[in-house]
Amino acid sequence: MTGSGRTLLWRDALPMVARYAAHGCGPEAFLLAFRPYQSAELERREPYALFDSAHNVALDAAITTGLAGLATLVALVALAASGLARRFRAAPRGAARALPLGVAVALVGWAAGGLFVFDTIATALYFYVFVALGSVNGERSTVNGKKDRLFLPFTVHRSLFTLLLLVAALGVAVPRLRLVWLADRQMATALALARDGRLAEAVGHGRAAVSNGEALGPAPELSHLLARVYARAGDPARA
């Protein structure tokens, strides 16, 4: 069991932590930095894969931003977790505990997913929203030593502010997730059509997939798969 090659990928990527501990290899540079570390076993297991991530948030942070970046990530999670724990204990029983509990569950979900995948624009945005919600302290000490609520939306209209924040996050994330899903479906269709010999249709779907993928940034995996479609279509120049 290799988890779609993930255990092999983690094994091969682990030595990169020591190599890039001081400064990291840089954001979006994992694909190039990983090549000298990729084993023949992983190449045989996933011959068509382009590894642009370690598929583990902690490993990605350590390799691309160094140990300082990993420490910062851990500190943000710890800050949010401690803040949520304090707010949960301080809140009266009942509905008042729903917000810190809900954010804590969401943060745990992000962490669980981060064990096996990498952050996208959407998940990174949600992570920082969760950290912000967990870190905000709705109270402060006055000169007299008494606690006085800050005039912040988090305390005055917490539910409304949270709703607006989530709507804004969804407004950013949903269109991008739709493009990712659409590109994935189009490329899957292209590969299926190529296997069935319907090559002209396959090329059309493949080009559409790359176009949708590149709307969010470089899409080397999709380009690589499109090259396979071109190769099946008998167009080695484009492949």
Residues 176-217 pLDDT 10s: 778 888 888 888 888 888 888 888 888 888 888 888 777 666
Q: Mean pLDDT lowest for which of 54-63, 90-99, 108-117?
A: 90-99
- Burial label for 35, CB within 10 Å (0-12, 13-18, 19+), is exposed
Question: Residue 105 domain-assigned?
Answer: yes
Domain span at 94? 6-137
Q: Mean pLDDT lowest for which of 25-34, 53-62, 103-112?
A: 25-34
DSSP string covering 66-133: HHHHHHHHHHHHHHHHHHHHHHHHHSPSSGGGHHHHHHHHHHHHHHHHHTTS---HHHHHHHHHHHHH
What's the confidence (pLDDT) of residue 149?
46
Question: Residue 210 domain-assigned?
Answer: no
Question: Residue 45 domain-assigned?
Answer: yes
Percent of all residues in the chain with a pLDDT value above 90, rounded to a whole number: 18
Question: Residue 111 domain-assigned?
Answer: yes
Question: Residue 176 domain-assigned?
Answer: no
Q: Mean pLDDT lowest for which of 13-17, 43-47, 112-116?
A: 43-47
Residues 107-161 pLDDT 10s: 999 999 999 888 888 888 888 888 888 877 544 444 444 444 444 444 445 566 6
What's the confidence (pLDDT) of residue 8?
92
Highest mean pLDDT among 24-33, 67-76, 119-128, 203-212: 67-76
User: Are residues 124 and 76 in contact, defined by beta-carbon separation less than 8 angstroms?
Assistant: no
What's the confidence (pLDDT) of residue 152?
43
Question: Residue 110 domain-assigned?
Answer: yes
What's the confidence (pLDDT) of residue 87?
86
Give mean pLDDT, residues 4-33: 88
What's the confidence (pLDDT) of residue 3?
53
Phi-psi region of 28 (alpha: psi -120 to 50; beta: other; left: phi over 0): left
Highest mean pLDDT among 2-6, 12-16, 103-107: 12-16
What's the confidence (pLDDT) of residue 216?
62
Question: Residue 27 domain-assigned?
Answer: yes
> pTM here?
0.58
Give 84's Cβ-side CA count (13 Å radius): 22
Question: Residue 209 domain-assigned?
Answer: no
Per the structure, how many domains does the chain have? 1
What's the confidence (pLDDT) of residue 14?
95
What's the confidence (pLDDT) of residue 156?
44
Is 45 in a helix, a strand, or coil?
A: helix
Tokens of 199: 């090559």
